[in-house]
Amino acid sequence: MKKHYLLLLGTGLALAAHSQTLTPPARPTPPVAAATNADKAKVEALLKKMTLEEKIGQMTQLTLGVVADGKPGVEEATLDPAALQKAVQTYGVGSLLNVVNHAVTVDRWGQVITQIQDAAAKTRLKIPVIFGLDGIHGQTYTLDATLFPQNIGMAATRDSALAHAITKVAAAELRASGVRWNFAPVLDCGRQPLWSRFPETYGEDVFIGKTMGSTVIHAYEEDGLRNPTAVASCMKHFIGYAAARTGKDRTPIYLPEIELREYYLPQFRAAVKAGASTVMINSGEINGTPVHASKYLLTQVLRKELGFEGVVVTDWEDIIRLHTRHNVAPTPRAAVAMAINAGIDMSMVPMDYSFPDLLKEAVQKGEVPMSRIDDAVRRILTLKYKLGLFENAYPEAAARANFGKPEYQDLALQAAHEAMTLLKNQDNVLPLKKDTKVLVAGPGAQSISALNGCWSYTWQGKEEQWYPANSKTILQAITDKVGAGNVITTTVKGYDSDANYDTTALKNAAANAAVIVLCLGENAYAESPGNIQDLVLAPNQVALANAAAATGKPVVLVLSEGRPRFITSFEPKMKGILQAYWSGRKSAEAIADVLFGDYNPDGILPYSYPRSMGEMVLYDRKPTEEIREIFNSDMTMDGYKPLFPFGFGLSYTTFSYSPVTLSSTTLKGNDKLRISVTVTNNGSRDGKHTVELYSRDLYASITPNMQRLRGFQKIDLKAGESRTVTFILDKNDLAFVNADLKTVTEPGDFEVMIGGEKAKFSYSL
């Protein structure tokens, strides 16, 4: 597949293949930038006709289960006409979301959306309903939709063009289902690997998060929201959600504002500039203030500082929790008033009608001004106009034709291929020969859910009966690759089945095998059900790894996991380690292709793979984290000592770098600096390779990081081929947040690093 790399990778930063700067491809103006004058006029005219109850209804979002027929034996996506009438006609509910329990067919979605919009067409003002879903790595809730790698796997690809391509498919299949609002992408910075939503992030680095995030938002919206290939995106969760102190979902965050602005705000700033139509708010609290109650964050920072003009929606049940969990609102009505006054436009209530009833009371008692209501409803109506819902709220035939195209599976395989990250290849145990007798063991060997993870046809992703019938397990993919006669297994279906952890069976079976492929990691989970107390793998998995190593046969460990789980105790005993993440529909095929050499791995880590709980140091560490000191004479510089470092990933070929060359050793004012390096594929195999540019500020008013990622480019080199890669930096790429909470670039000396090569320059005003 021909690839066109996105060249706008950061403020002031461009990348170029060979040695020239390429012009970025032209993009349409992001559709969220401004409503048309016609839309604005229609919104204002409609707003003047609306009663208080109709306005509050638009601000209300309910889950589909509220209007579904819950009688035993009735299909779960069947709607209850009376319940639908109450929601849409009596209360004027402006938005619905979610499924009842599992994905449904694209045709069933068409029927559901049609029924909902039929009900809306019978209301006084005929305002259509906007339906939203969590399409986190593809259209999660339509059967047979294409699932791609989770964001953490896409970050491992370091391929922005690929992220753009898979997002176009996700948008097409959402729109084909009649859904025009997607609650994605997650822009939380994954700097706490205990967090159960870690796989939804782009990892620990700010630059990858803002680059991938803005790319994805462009892809969702760039065609124009009236177009049947586009959907409204939702940047989430504003802000700092991933920084929970314990890693538990929806628990307190203690975050100095300087850290919030350095590591968590840039992704949202970039997303706003990219044209995100909506934003979902962090369910937690920061420094004791729930974000849903923070006028500073929602109005001062999000609206005024970032200039966001779209819709602000809560997460699940978060307004009432200001009263029931956070205990900052003494009554439910006080919670509603607090959130709306802080800047919330729409409440994901989602199970009852408490929100509209309480908000009406709050307005009538003068606790919420009408200006705030009008402000929120104006944004919601504007979004509906821009999505073309007033023109045609029903599922579109042109969109339906874009569902399930065969080429989507090719793209899913490409994405899974590029995510695969080879962490260890001792004695060149990989690739395996196809006539090798292989024992496939471990709980992941026959698990489809452990290859896809959360938000996969169900919320948790564990219910395998809803996956496409032709989904393959690792065992099946390996068998297809080398033939049943070369494969032995001790596994059964069911991740938690005792048979998958039978060390005696593994020992006995290994006698007839030349190599063991051991499939460990995590089964699917989402949100709070994925909370864990530490990163250590379950004891039965550790025991299985030790038993496999004790057979004396070489062991290749395949990790299918959403976050890095500790393997430190048995890693030395593994000959090969492949990090597969949760890489979607084609994970198993991609794993088999890498293991047997039909694909040369090129993924690299988007996080630092920790060694232990006492080694949770991130790649962009501070100088004092680099130093280990007992007495001065015992000082060492190995404070950053992960099991595998950020950006690490092996290939079946080797790449070398020339010395780094700079266009100048000085950078002044608004000038630009050209940084070049020549990369050579020294091996006998073709291969893709990510070239990464890091910088270091040698001295600054705030302790500088040891390194920060400033750019990346993925290139494809034939065996023996060389290519010059050029990065262009300006002062904005060197900026940081200072003690006054201002983003500044200070004069001084800097160092740039590419592939172990370094060069220095100085910056002056």
Q: What is the structure's pLDDT at 135?
A: 97
Q: Which residue type sits at 554?
A: P
Low-confidence ranges of the chain (pLDDT < 50): 1-33
The closest of 565, 570, 557, 571 to 609, measured between CA atoms, is 565
Residue 398 burial by CB count (10 A; 0-12/13-18/19+): exposed, middle or buried?
A: exposed
Determine if the peptide bond prior to 239 is cis (ω within 30°).
yes
Q: What is the structure's pLDDT at 110?
A: 97
Name the superfamily (CATH) of residues 420-609.
Glycoside hydrolase family 3 C-terminal domain (3.40.50.1700)
User: Which string of DSSP letters, residue by residue, matches 291-322?
Assistant: GGG-HIIIIIIIIIIT---SEEE--TTTTTHH
| CA distances for 286 relative to 63, 255, 259, 279, angstroms | 27, 6, 12, 18
Q: What is the structure's pLDDT at 108?
A: 96
Q: Where are the extended beta strands (E) located within 390-523? A: 421-425, 438-441, 487-489, 515-521
| Local structure of 97: helix, strand or coil | strand
For CA atoms 12, 160, 707, 723, give the dihedral sign.
negative
3-state SS, one letter per residue, for 408-423: HHHHHHHHHHHHCEEE
For CA atoms 342, 348, 350, 356, give the dihedral sign.
positive
Kindly state the tokens that stand for 98: 């979610």
Please give the CATH number for the structural domain made up of 59-314+376-400.
Answer: 3.20.20.300
Name the catalytic one among 144, 188, 249, 315.
Answer: 315
The closest of 335, 337, 336, 343 to 310, measured between CA atoms, is 343
- Collect all residues with Cβ–Cβ distance below 8 Å to 361 and sequence separation of at least 6: 333
Q: What is the structure's pLDDT at 236?
A: 96
Query: Domain coordinates of the chain in residue numbers?
Result: 1-20+653-765, 59-314+376-400, 420-609
Q: What is the structure's pLDDT at 305?
A: 97
Give CA–CA dist 661/678, Å, rounded. 9
Cross-strand partners of 729: 673
| Local structure of 25: helix, strand or coil | coil
Give CA–CA dist 440/474, Å, rounded. 8
Other Cβ atoms within 10 Å of 51 Cβ, number: 11
Establish whether 107 is a catalytic residue: no
By DSSP bridging, strand 515-521 and strand 555-560 are: parallel
- Collect all residues with Cβ–Cβ distance below 8 Å to 366 and sequence separation of at least 6: none
Give CA–CA dist 6/24, Å, rounded. 7
Give CA–CA dist 109/398, Å, rounded. 15
Q: What is the structure's pLDDT at 638?
A: 81
The closest of 205, 203, 202, 235 to 220, measured between CA atoms, is 235
Q: What is the structure's pLDDT at 627?
A: 84
Scan for tokens 């939709």, then name that residue: 145
Alpha-carbon Rg for the chain in angstroms: 26
| CA distances for 377 relative to 47, 225, 228, 313, 693, angstroms | 8, 19, 24, 12, 45
Give CA–CA dist 293/517, Å, rounded. 50
Give CA–CA dist 269/358, Å, rounded. 33
Q: What is the structure's pLDDT at 37?
A: 85
Q: How far is CA 507 from the centre of its chain?
A: 39
CB 201 within 8 A of CB 186: yes
Q: What is the structure's pLDDT at 76?
A: 84
The closest of 148, 195, 190 to 170, measured between CA atoms, is 148
Q: What is the structure's pLDDT at 36?
A: 80
Scan for tokens 């920061």, then name that residue: 286
Kindly state the tokens that stand for 396: 């579109």
The closest of 597, 599, 754, 728 to 675, measured between CA atoms, is 728
CB 674 within 8 A of CB 728: yes
DSSP assigned state of 455: S
CB 522 within 8 A of CB 562: yes
For CA atoms 145, 151, 157, 161, give the dihedral sign.
positive
CB 204 within 8 A of CB 243: no
Q: What is the structure's pLDDT at 22?
A: 29
Q: What is the structure's pLDDT at 644?
A: 97
By DSSP bridging, strand 655-657 and strand 673-681 are: antiparallel
Which class is domain 1-20+653-765?
mainly beta
Residue 610 burial by CB count (10 A; 0-12/13-18/19+): exposed, middle or buried?
A: buried
By DSSP bridging, strand 748-754 and strand 743-744 are: unpaired
